[in-house]
Amino acid sequence: MQNSFEADSIRKSFGNKQVLTDIYLSCKTGDIIGLLGRNGSGKSTLLKILYGTLYTDFKHISVNGEYMKQPFKEEGIVSFLCQDNFLPKNLTVKKVIQLFDYSVNESEFFNDDILSKVYNTKIGNLSGGESRYLEVKLILGLDTQFVFLDEPFNGMSPIHIDIIKDLIRQKSSKKGIVLTDHDYRNVLDIANKYMILFDGGIKVLKSKEDFIYWGYLPEEKQ
């Protein structure tokens, strides 16, 4: 079954500053949507609104045709990786995985070559990349129809990034995924659809010329 997440008429202001204006976004099972845009363009703001934790008067979100005011409150609909680290620093990796075991497949973690080396290490003693790697795996492992990933590759080594990219591709067979990252090259590499936020609006990038125009690909020499 192909699930569908649709958001329309999203507007958001902070004081007198209009950040988002009449945003429309559609995500379906199999989509890996790369959300591009400069710092401050509203990418994180949009993901929080889609998830349902950031309030705005202007939005319409539906999942499989059913209106949802706050999608995160509905079981099995959406999971969200925020920019900031969220795992308790005083717990070990093994304990954190066990706390998630009601909704993730433990074998994906205990058979992981990277995590197996740090099972008994407290989260606070992990490197930034190791901590982020675990967080992304946990969020992708949740049994939800859609996943929003905000800066998933932050602090990771190239090896970790490649593993997570493969995992995202694998999970997209059953999920719709929207992601953004400060290193746009990782976004370009993993996504199969692309959108850019600019001046409060959103534009779908479809052609090579679009990517050149917005500065994500170099102009071809004559």
Domain assignment present for residue 45? The answer is yes
Domain assignment present for residue 222? The answer is no
Between CA 21 and CA 58 the distance in angstroms is 9
pLDDT tens-digit readout, 185-222: 999 999 999 999 999 999 999 998 999 999 898 886 66
Element (DSSP H or E) covering residue 161? helix 158-171
Q: Round to the nearest angstrom and report the end-to-end CA distance of the chain.
A: 47
Domain assignment present for residue 72? The answer is yes
The CATH number assigned to the domain holding 26 equals 3.40.50.300
pLDDT tens-digit readout, 106-153: 777 878 889 989 999 999 999 999 999 999 999 999 999 999 999 999
Best CA proximity match to 71, nearest among 137, 140, 25, 5: 5
Q: With bands split at pLDDT 50, 70 and 90, how would you rate the model's confidence at 102?
A: low
Give Cβ neighbours of residue 99 (< 8 Å, ≥ 6 apart): 91
Q: Considering the chain, what percentage of its residues have pLDDT values greater than 90?
A: 77
Q: Are strands 176-180 and 146-150 parallel, antiparallel or unpaired?
A: parallel
Domain assignment present for residue 219? The answer is no
Checking if the pLDDT of 51 tops 90, the result is yes
pTM higher than 0.85 = yes
Number of domains in the chain: 1
Q: What is the dihedral of CA 32, 38, 39, 44, to 10 degrees?
A: -30
Checking if the pLDDT of 25 tops 80, the result is yes
pLDDT tens-digit readout, 149-187: 999 999 999 999 999 999 999 999 999 999 999 999 999
Q: Which domain holds residue 70?
A: 4-213
